[in-house]
């Protein structure tokens, strides 16, 4: 009912519509919503070309979902009215409840009691509600693009709805639990967990409520699809701010950390990492261990990778003996052949594409290697013909079931990165350090899955 209502009523809505008016009806029209829309407005006869009524009592059932946005004092009564109309799903967008003051807390409680009488469920208050790109429904007054991406989002702030493009990448299904007075983090995770159109879940919360229920439900979902999670309010200042944002008790950060780890959730440290990890889980095959081969054209790059592997706990996979022998034969006799080995001198003598393919394919074939990090040149087309390896990596990325991350450098690095991702399963990264962090998190998730999902059967 929340995510794909056939019939929706907005109680309280801007009088104006069109660009800049932030009218949710405009957003539904732009998305091509095909259900029935009814509107309640105290004065207007018509909003956005739809006739309005001035009282919930005048709405025509059946109504699957009501989106309520009226002054806070009026809300408990409206919730009661909706219940009597048979509405079983309510989204309350207003601020001014438990996050605000003691009167707000009372009103939140009163609203819940009213909902309880009819058995209606409440999402919010203080929420943008939901969006569902697949079924063309959104309750949000903020405009955003509709993309049927297999990413589900649970968040405790509208910033993730509006800023999806920069925070998580495109999202297909989103739920803003906000104050979470009734529908909570666990409920929303279960909606996304049970939806087969969703293959990766992005989560944000200021508090992890629900204790044992949260842990059990989340672990069950994490066994089927990765959950990438940003838990905020970790600092004292942040915790104080969270109390007046969503009314959340953030709790001790190391407790949250332990719970998330136990539940198999991939906790990220910052928003940028969230974006990266979601992309990684969408594009890449599983990372089944910590041994990572490095194919580099630069010794300095190998050193940066070695440093990052120590920080994030990956191992450099040694090359196979046959590969080492072949590279040794191709390299100048003076060259020390250690891992991570710089193949540049060999490529200059025997051709970039030959040497690159040999080394990368050898690594991917090796059962002791779980993933590869590749350094490659992003050059102008004229030079790329001789020195480019983008197509070669694309080809190997579909032949072998191991993650390949590629750092491209050179005058056309950005163009080469975009070209790389147009085919195959490898992923371009902005920096070598990021590649290592991504693989390390993926390895931890896989380890958890093996231990937990297998042991529970």
Closest CA to 44 of 20, 72, 23, 65: 23
Could you give the strand order of the β-sheet that contains 121-123, starting from the edge strand earlier in sequence? 46-47, 50-53, 36-40, 7-11, 65-68, 89-92, 121-123
Of 189-197, 265-273, 317-325, 441-449, which part binds a copy of itself (CB under 8 A)?
A: 265-273
- List the one residue from 6, 36, 77, 143 that touches a copy of itself (CB under 8 A): 143
Residue 261 in the binding site for a copy of itself (CB under 8 A) = no
> What stretch of H or E contains 267?
strand 266-267
Q: For residue 53, report the phi and psi dihedrals to the nearest 5 degrees.
A: -115, 165
Query: Where in 157-186 is the site for a copy of itself (CB under 8 A)?
Result: 157-160, 162-163, 165-167
Q: For the chain, give percent helix, strand, coil, nearest 5.
A: 45, 15, 40
Residue 259 phi, psi dihedral angles, 5° rounding = -60, -45
CB of 346 to a copy of itself, least distance (A): 12
Among 316, 319, 396, 438, binds a copy of itself (CB under 8 A): 316
Pull the structure tokens for residue 217.
């439900």
Phi first, then psi: give them for residue 31, nearest 5 degrees. Answer: -85, -10
- Contact characters 353-372, a copy of itself, x per CB under 8 A: --------------------
In terms of Cβ atoms closer than 10 Å to its own Cβ (0-12, 13-18, 19+), residue 281 is buried
Options 49, 237, 254, 454; binder of a copy of itself; rule CB under 8 A: 237
Q: Give the binding range for a copy of itself (CB under 8 A) out of 1-9, 137-145, 180-188, 394-402.
A: 137-145
Written as six digits, the tokens of 211 are: 């204790």
Nearest to 339 by CA among 305, 367, 310: 305
For 52, phi then psi, to 5°, come to -110, 165
336 forms part of the interface with a copy of itself (CB under 8 A): yes
Q: Smallest distance from the beta carbon of 300 to a copy of itself, in angstroms? A: 3
Q: Quick count: other Cβ atoms within 10 Å of Cβ 129? A: 27
User: Is 156 one of the binding residues for a copy of itself (CB under 8 A)?
Assistant: yes
From the list 78, 200, 256, 432, which residue makes contact with a copy of itself (rule: CB under 8 A)? 432
32-40, 187-195, 239-247, 283-291 -> range binding a copy of itself (CB under 8 A) = 239-247
Q: How far apart are CA 90 and CA 76, in angstroms?
A: 12
CA distance 67 to 421: 40
Which of residues 38 and 94 has its CB atom nearest to a copy of itself in the complex? 94
Member of 34, 55, 106, 385 binding a copy of itself (CB under 8 A): 385
Per-residue mark of binding to a copy of itself, 279-308 (x: CB under 8 A): ------------------xxxxxxxx-xxx
Contact residue for a copy of itself among 24, 124, 129, 340 (CB under 8 A): 340
Segment interacting with a copy of itself, rule: CB under 8 A, options 131-139, 269-277, 282-290, 366-374: 269-277
Stretch that binds a copy of itself, among 114-122, 216-224, 391-399, 403-411 (CB under 8 A): 403-411
As measured in angstroms, the least distance from the Cβ of 60 to a copy of itself is: 30
Contact between 110 and a copy of itself (CB under 8 A)? Answer: no
Structure tokens at 380: 């102008």
Nearer to a copy of itself, 332 or 367 (CB): 332
Residues in the chain: 457
Q: Does 101 bind a copy of itself (CB under 8 A)?
A: yes
Q: Which residues pair with 295 in a beta bridge?
A: 374
Between 172 and 264, whose beta carbon lies closer to a copy of itself? 172
Nearest residue (CB) to a copy of itself, 194 versus 311? 311
- Spatial distance between the Cα atoms of 251 and 221, rounded to a whole number of angstroms: 23
336 touches 328 (CB < 8 A): no
Pick the piece of the chain touching a copy of itself (CB under 8 A) from 5-13, 190-198, 226-234, 446-454: 226-234
Q: Between β-strands 173-176 and 130-132, what pairing exists: parallel, antiparallel or unpaired?
A: antiparallel
Of 18-77, binders to a copy of itself (CB under 8 A) are 19-20, 72
């Amino acid at each position: 009912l929340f995510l794909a209502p056939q019939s929706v009523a907005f109680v309280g809505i801007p009088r104006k519509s069109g660009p800049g008016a932030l009218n949710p009806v405009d957003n539904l029209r732009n998305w091509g919503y095909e259900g029935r829309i009814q509107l309640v407005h105290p004065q207007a006869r018509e909003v956005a070309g739809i006739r309005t009524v001035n009282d919930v009592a005048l709405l025509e059932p059946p109504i699957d979902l009501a989106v309520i946005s009226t002054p806070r004092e009026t809300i408990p009564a409206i919730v009661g009215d909706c219940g009597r109309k048979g509405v079983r799903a309510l989204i309350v967008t207003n601020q001014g409840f438990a996050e605000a003051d003691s009167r707000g807390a009372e009103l939140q409680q009163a609203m819940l009691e009213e909902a309880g009488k009819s058995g209606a469920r409440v999402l919010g208050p203080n929420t943008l509600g939901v969006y569902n790109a697949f079924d063309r429904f959104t309750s949000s007054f903020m405009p955003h693009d509709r993309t049927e991406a297999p990413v589900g989002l649970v968040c405790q702030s509208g910033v993730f709805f509006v800023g999806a493009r920069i925070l998580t990448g495109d999202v297909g299904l989103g739920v803003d639990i906000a104050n979470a007075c009734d529908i909570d983090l666990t409920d929303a995770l279960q909606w996304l967990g049970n939806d087969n159109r969703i293959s990766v879940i992005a989560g944000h919360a200021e508090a992890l409520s629900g204790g044992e229920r949260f842990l059990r439900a989340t672990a069950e979902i994490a066994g089927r699809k990765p959950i990438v999670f940003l838990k905020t309010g970790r600092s004292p200042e942040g915790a104080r701010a969270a109390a007046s944002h969503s009314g959340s008790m953030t709790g001790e950060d190391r407790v949250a950390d332990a719970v998330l780890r136990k539940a198999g959730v991939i906790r990220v440290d910052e928003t940028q990492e969230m974006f990266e990890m979601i992309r990684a889980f969408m594009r890449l095959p599983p990372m089944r261990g910590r041994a990572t081969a490095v194919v580099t054209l630069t010794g300095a790059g190998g050193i940066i990778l070695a440093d990052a592997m120590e920080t994030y706990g990956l191992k450099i996979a040694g090359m196979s003996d046959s590969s080492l022998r072949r590279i040794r034969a191709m390299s100048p006799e003076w060259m020390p052949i250690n891992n991570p080995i710089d193949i540049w001198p060999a490529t200059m003598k025997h051709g970039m594409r030959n040497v690159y393919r040999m080394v990368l394919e050898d690594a991917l074939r090796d059962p002791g290697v779980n993933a590869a990090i590749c350094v490659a040149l992003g050059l102008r087309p004229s030079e790329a013909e001789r020195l480019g390896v983008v197509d070669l990596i694309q080809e190997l990325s579909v032949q072998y079931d191991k993650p390949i991350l590629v750092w491209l450098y050179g005058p056309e690095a950005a163009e080469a990165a975009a070209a790389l991702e147009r085919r195959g399963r490898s992923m371009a990264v902005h920096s070598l350090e990021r590649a290592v962090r991504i693989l390390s998190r993926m390895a931890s998730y896989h380890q958890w899955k093996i231990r937990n999902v297998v042991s529970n059967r």
